[in-house]
A = this chain, B = another copy of it.
């Protein structure tokens, strides 16, 4: 939903190039809100408005534009201006943006940047998407060992301008090894005793991550230890950057979406649903849907294989949807439960035996309840005129057994598939309802008709 409240005024200010009012507009509100009011503007217009804001505010507001608008502005505006903008963007965000910009344009831009920023961008770009390195920033507060509280506070005052957060101050030795952490809270509390040595109050047992670790692991650590930011180190414990809580929140939201989409057997949608391009949504859904459809065709041939049973007792065919739905639903529950438990770090691969035992018990319990219902349903549905009472009983028992067996089977398959996927390095979320359902549909029909052939003919 685009916020159009200020659009007319904005366009008017632009038309008459009213510098004063445009500057006023760009500073009056929180940058995120200002960006929201500019949603309706074209990238060119938006950039025109930002031209009147001071560089810091400009970068701040720009940071809240949606990605497409950012890209278009970067690619189509004066290189020098963009370079200025990039200098003022947070180190991690600007790398994310440049990732999506036409590489040739990035090459044009880099020379306009100070050497330090250029180096920083190239280094951060070297970390693959999804790793801790790809979401970290190199702009963190650092002080050498041996400082006092007063020195630290003064140094922090100097750095405050250019760093992402001042709340964690990292103590590094002369070779950039991470030695400890002192929080702004500790510094402020010690303001009364300015000569306290940092080394005496700093935290030495730090939770750290390596730059090549999965960003999901980072999120888990930060959530578990309630951290404001987590330091990123290389193999020799050199400090290379930090990941702050706001980046972790973004990671958690993205990862949650990814899992949910994959559980529905579609490729994750990165953009806003209503703004996503038709072909992109179509492809993300059609791809898996087609494969699943092909797999599901197996049911066709299985059914065909049992045509003689259907000819004998056509009623069997009536129960196919019920039976395969039972497997699909129980499988979906199990798969979801296990996938989520893994995502939250509650179960590891090594727990698979406990999981099987667990799901075996649950599957049997669920199977009995559904089987009982199935029996009643079958008994009511079979027409006793043609089949006769005894046969109806026997038939209903077969259905009940089939429902029970398929429910248990679905539960076991659903609980083991995610673990198997993880074991082979595939995202467990892919072991989702449609996959489990498709697999269980085919096998479910086999179970139903096999039981029928054993007991009925």
Contacts and interface: CB of A to CB of B under 8 A. Distances in A.
Interface of A: 1, 28-30, 32-33, 153-154, 156-157, 160-161, 165-167, 184-185, 187-192, 205, 207, 219, 222-228, 245-246, 248-250, 252-253, 256-257, 259-261, 263-266, 269, 272-274, 278, 281-282, 285-286, 289-290, 292-294, 296-297, 299-301, 303-304, 307, 310-311, 314-315, 317-322, 324-326, 328-330, 332-333, 335-341, 344, 346-348, 350-351, 354-355, 358, 361-362, 365-366, 369-370, 373-374, 377, 381, 433-434, 437-438, 441, 445
Nearest to A191: B157
Copies of this chain, how many? 2
Nearest to A376: B297
A329 B188 contact: no
Contacts of A434: 328-329, 332, 433
Given A256-B256, A278-B362, A188 B192 contact: no
A300 B329 contact: no
Contacts of A189: 157, 160-161
9 contacts: A184-B184, A264-B332, A273-B337, A274-B346, A274-B347, A286-B366, A293-B374, A307-B318, A328-B434
Given A30-B225, A272-B346, A285 B249 contact: no
A256 B343 CA distance: 11
Contacts of A264: 263, 332-333, 335-337, 433
Contacts of A340: 257, 260-261, 269, 273
Nearest to A354: B274
Contacts of A265: 329, 332-333
Contact of A289 (B293, B303, B366): B366
Q: Enumerate the 3 nearest inter-chain pairs by beta-carbon distance, A residue then B residue, closest first.
A: A264-B336, A299-B321, A256-B256
A253 to B, nearest CB: 6
Contacts of A373: 290, 293-294, 297
B328 A437 contact: yes
A94 to B, nearest CB: 15
B30 A207 contact: yes
